[in-house]
A and B are shown apart, each in its own frame.
Chain A
Amino acid sequence: MWAPQYPEGLEMKIWINTLSGDVKTISALNHYIGMKTIEVSMFPEFKYMIYLVGIMIGIGALTAIINKRWMLMIYLSTILLAGIGALIDFYLWGYDYGHNLNPEAPIKIEGMSYQPPLIGTKVLLNFTAFSGPDIGGWIFIGVGILLFALLIYEWKANKIK
């Protein structure tokens, strides 16, 4: 996110099991509008995310071993479901973080909520916020695209046969 006072930008990275970046500074700024202090404990997902990703890698490996098209379909579906699930989860957290505001906040603006953008850019008061996938997310997206491309290729190759 960027603001007139933060031309260099403030960043929060969500990892598989933790947060990094300017989390403290973001919390310090957001308390004025009644948003919660962002802490690792806010995200119960961090406790089991590592297992979920482990399972996904396992299914990937299994797909390679089984080497059948139906398994490929199952793997692609899992990746897609996981992606949609992650987006819904992040949306729900963002909704709560942006709407569930402290009624005693120093700054209250009628009708204003501060849900961060799901993906892309959004202007919130003096800040321009941007959300997007980082390396981990891009790997997931890459895997999905590869799987999809593979299926189409297989499908075309079969058709020619």
Chain B
Amino acid sequence: MKKHIKSALLLLVAVSAVTFYACKPQGPQAALTGDAAAKVYVAPGKYDEFYNFVSGGFNGQLSVYGIPSGRLFRIIPVFSQFAENGYGYSEESKPMLMTSHGFVPWDDLHHPALSTTNGEHDGRWAFVNANNTPRVARVNLKTFRTEEIIELPNSGGNHSSPFITENTEYVVAGTRFSVPMGDKSDVSISTYKENFKGTISFIKVDPTTGKMNINFQLKTPGVNFDLSRAGKGPSHGWFFFSCYNTEQAYTLLEVNATQKDKDFIMAVNWKKAEEYIAQGKGEKAKVNYAHNVLDESTHTATSEMLKEVLQLDPTVLKDIIYFIPCPKSPHGCDTDPTGEYIVASGKLAAIIPVFSFTKIQAAIAAKDFEGEFAGIPVIKYESALHGEVKKPGLGPLHTEFDEKGNAYTSFFVSSEIVKWNVKSLQVLDRVATYYSIGHLCVPGGPTRKPHGKYVIAYNKITKDRYLPTGPELTQSAQLYDISGDKMQLLLDFPTTGEPHYAEAIPANLIAPNSTKIYKIEDNRHPYVAKGEKETKVERKGKEVHVYMTAIRSHLTPDNIEGIKLGDVVYFHVTNLEQDWDVPHGFAVKGAANAEILIMPGETQTLKWIPDEVGVVPFYCTDFCSALHQEMQGYARVSPAGSPVPLKFSTGVVEETGSK
């Protein structure tokens, strides 16, 4: 009997031990179920369904991935020099990085905004922001190249940017830091309340060329602007910005800017602003900012400095802006596909308020205000509110939408995506992210026509998701299937830089229009050589200009003599190829910049200042053909004042090359 009791006891201990361990929280691997592999498998030679344009954060670039495979296709250099292809190093691309502070070779790129027509993606341009030295860039989605960069005057950090209106009429850029401006720029930091102002810049976009110009700026009370969305459908004509630091703190914001229960959503009636401008209202302010444009026919960017900007003061010109109270340091401010609901995510709030555009309009009409903030009317919270999502999670940041009336909100602190219904405000599902998600992306999520097949999480913490690579890790993204009632984790994929926002767009809106080559007959570069017969070397004082061509598998000229110490040599290399995917590269030994990559039909220029006497090799850096390794040449550098004449050739063999 005793024996039996003993065995029963043993069994009990064993069972409880097993049960105890079964109750222990499980690792993330357990979350992956079913047919995930089949859903993300894109067979060799087949194409992904979506392009995913992902900001690179502190790498200053925009990266392009395929969804659902998560494969990286390309990094488009925008605000940072890119030694890999010579962007920001070649003479043609250097003007792209000019600012009022001179040449700025780096920035922090946070948010892409893909152009839309009637609120739907049209696949023409991607607009992206530079957070540090405030700029907005436009990338052409035919060439995947940065075509234009405009600097923003009176901006102290361009985080709340770029956000576009339904037909890409405007790209807006709100300043993160309010700053003193104009004549009052040299003031004590402690005079924040009195002297510091925010600005929202409205950049007009030419509907055919995409060219940008700052149409006007709104001068706002001094707060921090964080994110924004334009209205759509019925709310077209309005913008909604999240504002924090309405405490107007200028030090230790962590404490001093988190005191109030509510900050604001700022509603902007930009059609009203246009009316005032049409009436001749507003003031021209003296400023200094760069506008840089790439000309596709000369393959060259030019930079000009602009000196004036039109400013409107909404404290004087009423009815342009209104504040709506919003709990605790709002971050994301997202309008749903119908344009009726505005979802504001207070980073420190325990609920998510959803505002109604109809109610906001009614409140404004009825002057249902609780008071003013710095001369701007503040609408009563309850009057603007559609409802609150209760207990959604911790640390809500951003919201994207599907076409079925559901919202997907990212939660940084509780590291999850929560699916909820916009109308009923009921939480429907939640999935974990690995780890601490920032932005998220549903293909077409910010448009009137989402493709609610996937949601992608861009995380801030990677830790153990991949093989370790020392203290510095790649970033982690996760792809989830949202076509069913339950969100399903499909894939982890690494991302470059630090992704913030990203947009995804159906591949068929972009792929058929992708440029394959530049036509050599359309090349209007001032130093082009459209054939080997046009190659030459010219001296202009201390400058030596080499009109060089590259074709499989030689450079013309490949023997150059007569360069002297003290000269500045410009290699203008034209790629004569007219076949897809036959770039050539060019590099010179000891050149103090980078290589250049030259696409078929294009001309790019590498500047080289020889620093010693001798014969200097140069070669093609892009493996172009079976005889790529033969694609090389020599430049002879003689002492200053040497009598060696300027001479160049290719394929000329002199038996006794003396002197």
Contact = CB atoms under 8 A, between A and B. Distances in A.
B281 interface: no
Interface string A19-42: 000101100100010000000000
A159 B621 CA distance: 77
A107 interface: yes
A27 B552 CA distance: 11
Contacts of A32: 552, 625-627
10 contacts: A22-B579, A25-B578, A28-B551, A28-B552, A28-B577, A32-B552, A32-B627, A106-B553, A106-B626, A106-B630
Contacts of B578: 24-25
Interface in B611-644: 625-627, 630
A107 B579 contact: no
A22 B551 CA distance: 16
A107 B626 contact: yes
A107 B552 CA distance: 13
Interface string A87-125: 000000000000000000011000000000000000000
A107 B625 CA distance: 12
Given A22-B579, A25-B578, A106-B630, 8 more contacts: A24-B579, A25-B579, A28-B552, A28-B577, A28-B579, A32-B552, A32-B627, A106-B627
Q: State the 6 A-B residue pairs at the shortest beta-carbon distance, nearest first.
A: A25-B579, A24-B578, A106-B627, A28-B552, A28-B579, A32-B626
Interface of B: 551-553, 577-579, 625-627, 630
Interface of A: 22, 24-25, 28, 32, 106-107
Contacts of A107: 626
A25 B627 CA distance: 16
A108 to B, nearest CB: 13
A107 B553 CA distance: 12
Nearest to B551: A28
A97 to B, nearest CB: 20
A150 B461 CA distance: 82
B259 to A, nearest CB: 64
Contacts of B551: 28
A32 B551 CA distance: 12
Nearest to B45: A7
Contacts of B625: 32
Contacts of B627: 32, 106
Nearest to A8: B580
Contacts of B630: 106
A22 B625 CA distance: 18
Which of the listed residues A25, A28, A107 has the most CB atoms from chain B within 10 Å of its own CB? Answer: A28
Contacts of A22: 579
Nearest to A25: B579
A25 B551 CA distance: 11
Nearest to B553: A106
Contacts of A24: 578-579
A45 B551 CA distance: 30
B273 to A, nearest CB: 51
Nearest to B630: A106
A48 to B, nearest CB: 29
Nearest to A22: B579
B580 to A, nearest CB: 9
A28 B551 CA distance: 8
Nearest to A106: B627
B649 to A, nearest CB: 16
A24 B517 CA distance: 13
A22 B600 CA distance: 14
B16 to A, nearest CB: 63
Contacts of A28: 551-552, 577, 579
A32 B552 CA distance: 9
Contacts of B626: 32, 106-107
Contacts of B552: 28, 32
A139 to B, nearest CB: 31
A81 to B, nearest CB: 39
A64 B577 CA distance: 51
Nearest to A7: B45
A67 B625 CA distance: 61
A25 B520 CA distance: 13
A142 to B, nearest CB: 35
A156 B80 CA distance: 83
A156 B491 CA distance: 74
B45 to A, nearest CB: 8
Nearest to A104: B651
Nearest to A26: B579
Contacts of B553: 106
Which of the listed residues B553, B577, B579, B627 has the most CB atoms from chain A within 10 Å of its own CB? Answer: B579
A107 B577 CA distance: 20
A62 to B, nearest CB: 45
Contacts of A106: 553, 626-627, 630
A18 to B, nearest CB: 17
Nearest to A31: B552
A24 B625 CA distance: 16
A41 to B, nearest CB: 16
B61 to A, nearest CB: 29
A95 B577 CA distance: 27
A122 B626 CA distance: 23
A32 B628 CA distance: 12
B606 to A, nearest CB: 24
A124 to B, nearest CB: 15
A85 to B, nearest CB: 34
Nearest to B578: A24
A106 B651 CA distance: 13
